[in-house]
Amino acid sequence: MLALLLKSLLGAAAVLLIALLSRSQHFFVAGLVPLFPTFALIAHYIVGSERSAADLQTTALFGLCSLLPYAGYLLVVYWLSPRLALAPTLISATLAWFVLAGALLAIWQAR
Query: In the chain, where are the structural domains located?
Result: 53-111
Q: What is the pLDDT of residue 52?
A: 97
Contacts (Cβ under 8 Å, ≥6 apart) of 81: 89
Q: What is the pLDDT of residue 93?
A: 98
Label residue 4 by pLDDT band (50, 70, 90). confident
Q: What is the pLDDT of residue 91?
A: 98
pTM score over 0.85: no
Give 32-47 pLDDT, tens digit per residue.
Answer: 988 888 889 889 999 9
Let me know how long the chain is.
Answer: 111
